[in-house]
Structure 1
């Protein structure tokens, strides 16, 4: 089986496609590489004994979040082993490439909004709203009745407003006027300055949020697999309430090129690896 791994820490040049199997230790042991990827979309090839009696059968079209920071095998592979409880039926209205863009960023956005606990009518600024995570956050927050503002490039205004943002900022944001900030662009302390006294800041890298100031509650979301919640998000896709965006596709063997493109920045949507 082919899988995408990093053989050292570094830039896109450390990304390799390797042939893996039980003998190489990718299902346990120290290994000599780190598996890459969290998003999965595809069809069930086999159901293990531990999933007997589950709703899943061979041939089912599914999406999954397969989380894990340091592990020998990630989702960028021809086959992926996942927990049955993390699985959701794939969207009926999207092909497998678009479906692959949903799990990680949509679950992160939904779980971050849960932690913020905003009520309808409260204000939220979403950084990186033109990106995949930020775009889902705008749509999900607007659906909850939250008034969303998005700082972004002027060329992104029409798209961001179409997601449900009520205000758009292409210049200076101003200080301390929002009930909360969801920092999808990972700006850190500068974004904290846009939260009112006693408001909330939510980061998207676990334990990397700035320290509290002015009574602002600061935290970060650590996304977790949740098949039931993912199924709800799939339902929103099929209703047309969540937008799936593919910025480009690459064969699995060209994973390093996809990483290089991502490192260039300015990607609108997700880059998808196709085995």
Structure 2
């Protein structure tokens, strides 16, 4: 009876994990496909005519300037989605080796030298940092990508460093050092592999944070032109007329929210799956 209850509970959790994975994949697929393929299938610009009703010529109507909302949706995802993905990847490409070097060094001064400057950046809110730099440099999308990555590095490095310090104290690491194993093998071959679940969880959190920061920056006109085809700009530009043309606000906002929720669900499902694999072994 006990085995039956345990197996039934495991089956229930497995089913919930599959549902979470499928829902997350569906939520992520739509904005990703629109971001990647939207510019290729977007209709050519037509004459501007204000129309808040759905029609064959304007599937979602037009905004208050007469631009086709559906065309703006197809064109507006690339800046938000690709900048967020690129910034997340860049942030972890910097944070991972930095945190591993600080955690595995035996020199306390070197660990302080690597980690303390990050505390200074951490004391400044991410959006404030982006706004301050952007006010001086007026970055485009590449500059915004770097800014968001820099803002994400301190948090990512602290999470990775905390996990790596615990692993670095294990007898296995000391044994590898005594046997003459190279630093890359200790850092990447053992330490990084041992904390891959922590790293994956932080990757999901960091991606959602990047989406929030990129969207907010675009909403405030940082890195993106005020009249650009961008989902966040669409929300800002059309929110005064929400009661007349809701699609110009609801659709891009739903796509950004769906990508954030879907990414979290996918990472949660993947972590649960790896956890069950580890338990079964």
Question: What's the TM-score, normalizing by structure 2?
Answer: 0.23
Structure (1 or 2) with the larger CA radius of gyration: 2
- Give the structure with the higher percent helix: 2
**Larger strand fraction of residues:** 1
Higher relative contact order (CA 8 A, sep 6+): 2
* Normalised TM-score (structure 1): 0.24
